[in-house]
Amino acid sequence: MARRHRREEEDAAIDMTPMLDIVFIMLIFFIVTTSFVKEAGIQVDKPKSDQSSKPPKNSNIFIAISENGDIWMDKRMVDVERVQANLEKMLAEQPSEAVIVQADKEAKHGKVMKVMDQIKAAGIDKIVVAGKK
Please write the tens of the pLDDT for every residue from 95-131: 888 888 888 888 888 999 999 999 999 988 888 887 6
The whole-number pLDDT of residue 26 equals: 92
- 125 inside domain: yes
**How do residues 15-60 score in pLDDT, each as one tens digit?**
888 889 999 999 998 888 776 666 666 666 666 665 556 656 666 7
Domain assignment present for residue 54? The answer is: no
Q: Read off the pTM.
A: 0.62
Whether 29 and 78 share a structural domain? no
41 in any annotated domain: no
125 and 65 housed in the same domain: yes
74's CB contacts (< 8 A; 6+ apart) are 38, 39, 40, 41, 86, 90
Q: Which of 57, 41, 56, 73 lies closest to 129 in space, CA to CA?
A: 56
Are residues 125 and 66 part of one domain?
A: yes
User: Which residues form the domain of 26?
Assistant: 2-33
The enclosing domain of 69 has a CATH number of 3.30.420.270
**DSSP-derived 3-state class of residue 62:** strand
Question: 78 and 125 share a domain?
Answer: yes
Tally of domains in the chain: 2
39 in any annotated domain: no
pLDDT computed for residue 7 by the predictor: 61
Tell me the β-bridge partners of 78: 71
> Does residue 10 have a pLDDT over 70?
no
Tally of helices (H runs) and strands (E runs) in the chain:
4, 5
Do 66 and 108 lie in one domain? The reply is yes
80, 115 contact by CB (below 8 A): yes
DSSP output for 97-129: SEEEEEE-TTS-HHHHHHHHHHHHHTT--EEEE
Q: Is there a single domain that holds both residue 72 and residue 125? A: yes
> At residue 23, what are phi and psi to the nearest 5 degrees?
-60, -45
On whether both 71 and 29 belong to a single domain, the answer is no
Q: Which residue has the higher pLDDT, 120 or 3?
A: 120
Give per-residue pLDDT as tens, 60-101: 788 999 889 899 988 889 999 999 999 999 888 888 888 888
Residue 38, pLDDT score: 63
